[in-house]
Amino acid sequence: MRRTLIVTGLLALSLGLIAIPGILGATRASGDVTTVTPIKHVIIIQQENRSFDSYFGTFPGADGIPMLNGVAQVACNPDPVLKTCVKPFAYHQDINRGGPHATKNSIADIASGAMTGFQNQANVASNCVDFTDPACGGNTGKNFNDAMGYHSASDIPNYWSYASNYVLQDRFFAPSTSWSLADHLYAVSGWSAKCSSNAPTSCTSTLYDNDPRSAKVLSGTNHVAWTDITYLLHRAGVSWAYYISTGGQPDCEKNYEMVCKPAKQGVGTPGWWNPLPYFNTVQNDQETGNIQDSAKFLSAAKNGSLPAVSWVIPNNQNSEHAPAKVSVGQSYVTKLINAAMAGPDWNSTAIFLSWDDWGGFYDHVLPPTVNGQSLGIRVPGLVISPYAKAGYIDHQVASTDSYLKFIEDNFLNGQRLDPANDGRPDSRPSVRENSSVYGNLMNDFDFTQAPRAGTQLKVKPRTTLR
């Protein structure tokens, strides 16, 4: 039986819970932390570089690629190399190339709202034959725009199973127009900035696009002085962990490079996908030990010792970042979710699965603007929980800012990363979680229902990938 505490009407009103049937009180999370829902464990799994249309463009009921008799009804996407029009097409290759994905590429892809500028990285090379060659790309002797290709249910059956049985978000956007560095900073702090000193007020907004210092921005000689969500969690006594997969980094250290030798990644090697060790807050709170190898996530899930908030980050092989295999990434994610579902914490868990940016792959939806800043191109988002609505498609606008808002509402009584009242003022231009553009992830749950048992999917399902 779930233990409950009465939530005052004022608190419930401030969190928007009056409109959510069945939330009559607050429950206890790990230790003495109070939550306003039965969710005591939030798990954020962040994969790499896929657009919504590239994975769920043909998912029934979702805002996918407009189709008529199996033919995409979208504007022509001119290919400058092949001198022809390319429209979205079914593509079953396990290894994809995608395209460049810095802010300038996002602007080009969006093409003033026409969404017709998507270009495969192969188009910057010539005389390429082997499509699987990361150095160039091509198909039957021609450059080939696989950025316009999309995968079907038979390619990624486990992802489609999660979407069919839980919640698929078809308005989930990358938090910025840029690449992994900015997006992973946003994921833990709601901001991407650079600082001139250890003072939080010295930080100013940047996405690190075409910045020659970007490869060294997160280093021992630089400052990551603004406030991240772990500061609020630590202050409230809410446990957290950042699980990182040992191996190579999923992307190049310079955002303008598509091909490079992977840099090493692990607990002891902070980087674009492991930024928290650089944050002054994490160092000052003496919580660098909360950054752990992803193997410990599996054991924590099995033993029922998951922290209240977890991030799980891949390496280059299981990230799905082109040219990593789609099948390997799906198997990796399935293993993580299976572990959570089989563990004793499942009945109090919410899993948020998304991809950090679009990776140059086609999407037909124009990104919205939040507090004067454009969001990035749309990516897949899934909400998986014993309380998640079954087979529900969420059309609300969301991004990783929405994850922060859910954490803040559920564990922190609605406290925000707000320099006006969070006790550590920085110079962020806005409190993005408060934007009226965003919906509320609470709407993806039905807390009146009995918690549903998890379903163990095959880690290596049969697919049509080749």
**pLDDT for 350-404, tens place per residue?**
999 999 999 999 999 999 999 999 999 999 999 999 999 999 999 999 999 999 9
Burial class of 440 by CB neighbour count within 10 A (0 to 12, 13 to 18, 19+) = middle
Whether residue 381 sits in one domain with residue 257: yes
pLDDT at 23 over 50: no
Q: Hey, which of 112-121, 208-217, 240-249 has the most confident mean pLDDT? A: 240-249
Q: Measure the CA–CA gap between 189 and 275, rounded to whole angstroms.
A: 10
With CA atoms as reference, report the closest residue to 272 among 285, 287, 260.
Answer: 260
Whether residue 251 sits in one domain with residue 362: yes
pLDDT at 207 over 70: yes
Structure tokens at 16: 């928007």
Buried/exposed code over 324-340 (b: 16+ C-beta within 10 A; e: otherwise): bbbbbbbbbbbebbbbb
Is position 465 within any domain? no
Residue after which a domain boundary falls, among 95, 119, 150: 150
Q: Which of 10-19, 253-262, 368-377 has the lowest mean pLDDT?
A: 10-19
Confidence of residue 12 (pLDDT cuts 50, 70, 90): very low
Integer-rounded Cα Rg, in Å, for the chain is 21
Whether residue 86 sits in one domain with residue 208: no
Q: Which residues pair with 27 in a beta bridge?
A: 35
pLDDT at 8 over 80: no
Is position 8 within any domain? no
Confidence of residue 13 (pLDDT cuts 50, 70, 90): very low
- The packing angle between helices 180-189 and 400-411, to 10°, is 20
- The rounded mean pLDDT for the chain is 85
Q: What letter would DSSP give residue 237?
A: T
Whether residue 345 sits in one domain with residue 286: yes
Number of domains composing the chain: 2
Q: Is the separation of the CB atoms in 363 and 56 below 8 Å?
A: no
Domain extent at residue 88: 67-150
* Strand 67-68 with 71-72, pairing: antiparallel
**Residue that wins the pLDDT comparison between 294 and 11:** 294
Q: Which of 20-29, 195-204, 282-291, 443-452 has the lowest mean pLDDT?
A: 20-29
Neighbouring CB atoms inside 10 A of 1's CB total 3
Give the contacts of 134 (CB within 8 A, at least 6 positions apart): 97, 259, 323
